C-alpha cells in the first residue's frame, strides 16, 4: 500500500515555510508528518497530510512549485532492532532507500515514511515479508 506525499520546493528565505503552512491551514489540510531539508539556495519540504491532493492543488494555486509522490508508510514495532530488520529486508531484496523520516500515528507502533528506488518491487517485498504499510485512508 502506498501513500501520497506532497513535496514542495522552497527558496531559502525567512518566512517561506510559514507561507506554505498558512496555505495548508487556510485550506483545511492537516499535516501528519513532515521533513525539511535544505541546501544553501533552496529547501525540500516533504509532507504527509490528511488531504494530499487538496494540499498540492492549494499550494500550486498559491504559486508554490510542488508535486505528489508515492511513498510507503511502514509500521515499525517498538522493540530493539525492528527498524534494522525492515531495512535489512529492503537491502537483501536489492532495493535502495532514497530517503525516510519518522511518522507518529499513535498506538503501540511507530511508523516511517520510506521512498524506495523501485515502488512496485518494494510493494511486493513488503507483502512477501508481511511488513505492514499504511495508505492515505488508513491515516484518517
Convert the pLDDT of each residue in 6-23 to its tens digit.
999 998 888 999 999 999
Convert the pLDDT of each residue in 113-125 to its tens digit.
888 888 899 989 9
Domains and CATH numbers, the chain: 3-69 (3.30.2130.10), 71-139 (3.30.2130.10)
**Residue of higher predicted confidence among 81 and 14:** 81
Q: Which of 96, 90, 84 is nearest to 125 (CA)?
A: 90
Which pTM was predicted? 0.85
Convert the pLDDT of each residue in 25-71 to its tens digit.
999 999 999 999 988 788 999 999 999 999 999 999 999 999 999 99
- Residue 74: strand, helix, or coil: strand
Where is 49: in which H helix or E strand?
strand 42-49
Convert the pLDDT of each residue in 88-115 to its tens digit.
999 999 999 999 998 876 666 678 888 8
Where is 56: in which H helix or E strand?
helix 52-61
Q: Which of 75, 54, 61 is nearest to 4 (CA)?
A: 54
**Measured between alpha carbons, how far is residue 17 from residues 36, 99, 100, 131, 139 in Å?**
9, 21, 20, 34, 24
Amino acid at each position: 500500500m502506498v501513500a501520497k506525499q506532497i513535496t514542495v520546493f522552497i527558496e531559502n528565505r525567512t518566512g517561506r515555510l510559514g507561507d506554505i503552512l498558512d496555505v495548508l491551514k487556510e485550506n483545511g489540510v492537516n499535516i501528519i508528518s513532515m521533513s525539511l531539508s535544505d541546501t544553501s539556495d533552496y529547501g525540500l519540504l516533504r509532507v504527509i497530510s490528511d488531504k494530499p491532493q487538496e494540499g498540492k492543488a492549494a499550494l500550486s494555486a498559491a504559486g508554490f512549485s510542488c508535486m505528489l509522490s508515492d511513498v510507503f508508510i511502514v509500521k515499525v514495532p517498538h522493540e530493539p532492532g525492528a527498524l534494522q530488520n525492515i531495512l535489512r529486508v529492503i537491502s537483501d531484496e536489492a532495493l535502495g532507500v532514497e530517503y525516510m523520516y519518522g511518522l507518529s500515528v499513535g498506538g503501540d507502533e511507530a511508523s516511517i515514511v520510506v521512498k524506495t528506488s523501485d515502488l512496485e518491487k518494494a510493494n511486493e517485498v513488503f507483502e512477501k515479508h508481511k511488513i505492514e504499510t499504511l495508505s492515505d485512508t488508513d491515516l484518517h
